[in-house]
Amino acid sequence: MAVLKVEDLSVQFRTAQGVVRAVDRVSFEIRAGETLAVVGESGSGKSVTALAIMRLLPRHGSTRVSGRVMLGERDLVGLADAEMQRVRGNQISMVFQEPMTSLNPLMRIGEQIEEGIRRHQNVSAAVSRRRAVELLDQVRIADPHRRVDEFPHTLSGGMRQRVMIAMALACEPKLLIADEPTTALDVTVQAQILELLATLRKTMNMSMLLITHDLSIVADTAERTLVMYAGRIVEAAATGEILARPAHPYTRGLLGSLPKPRAAGRSRDRLTEIPGAVPPLHALPAGCSFAERCQRADAVCRTDRPEARTVTHDRLAVCHFAVAEAI
């Protein structure tokens, strides 16, 4: 059963250079209890997709969102603001990349966690306070009774990210959106946070949308993975399948460009490069956005935009020549 269904979601920004299609007809669903990873480089549209789901995009004339984001029977795209506030932080919450800037430096940690609880649940100050301490304990912050009254600057980056997670979990959401939750953290702290998220997801039976640029962290974390490029989903499959037999040339290129452990004594091989760079979103080519960097590209790739094709069961690739191949 799907917790959230995204259908034909598009986000356009009007800029000085022209109209930018940051997200272009993206469709996917997040199933109950699963972690779905969205992998992409900068400008792929992965974060804008998350912000569109949460309705956190700027609301002026220059931004246009179309399509549907179905949470159960309700479409979040057209929801009234007051209704959306009841969803945000309650049924869906979000953890951001920067634990340094996403906490209020002037508020005690406990107050920040309690804020969401008090907003969404009709509980007394004593109850919300007890809940804040519990949550800190749940995200494994030592000495939660003392920490609850401290200010963010007294905490390390990893601890702050734990506080962010505690805030996000306060109302036991059905879905947690984690946007690059470990990118700003060191590798040993990253391992701690990923493990914590996995444990909490299981105990709370929550779904997670994990947004990352780092293919190597999805292996341990996500059941399914979407790969985005220049605003579109180019491949969707079970994570193990994508890593072992990528079907889209871009995914293959990404995996090939990661350094692999070499055999002892062997000299280093050159890494496989993807030539060029991501095209500017306001001037995408007519056909496939990846055609210019693709070794397999044909005349058809430069003229016709590929549609999603089913490669095998439960696997999609948006490529004229998609085949699942072992790398």
Residues at the interface with other proteins (CB under 8 A):
41-42, 156, 158-159, 186-192, 195, 213-217, 219-220, 243-244, 253-262, 264-265, 268, 270-275, 277-278, 293
Q: Are 9 and 233 within 8 A, CB to CB? A: no
Instruction: Give 264's contacts (C-beta < 8 A, 6+ positions apart).
Output: none
Euclidean distance between CA atoms 38 and 209, whole angstroms = 7
Q: Which is nearer to other proteins, 120 or 232 (CB)?
A: 232
Nearest to other proteins of 84, 278 (CB atom):
278
Nearest approach, Cβ of 122 to other proteins (angstroms)?
Answer: 37
- Shortest Å, Cβ 194 to other proteins: 8
Cβ-based nearer residue to other proteins, 55 or 245:
245
Q: How far is the CB of 188 from other proteins (least distance, A)?
A: 4
Q: Give whichever of 70 and 198 is closer to other proteins, judged by the CB atom.
A: 198
**In the complex, least distance from residue 85 CB atom to other proteins, rounded to whole angstroms:** 35
CA distance 319 to 254: 16
CB of 185 to other proteins, least distance (A): 9
Nearer to other proteins, 122 or 267 (CB): 267
Paired sense of beta strands 207-212 and 175-179, if any: parallel
Identify residue 5 by its one-letter amino acid code: K
Stated as kind and residue range, the H or E segment containing 93 is strand 92-95
Are 115 and 135 in contact by the 8 Å Cβ rule? The answer is no
State how far the Cα of 165 lies from the Cα of 278, in Å rounded to an integer. 32
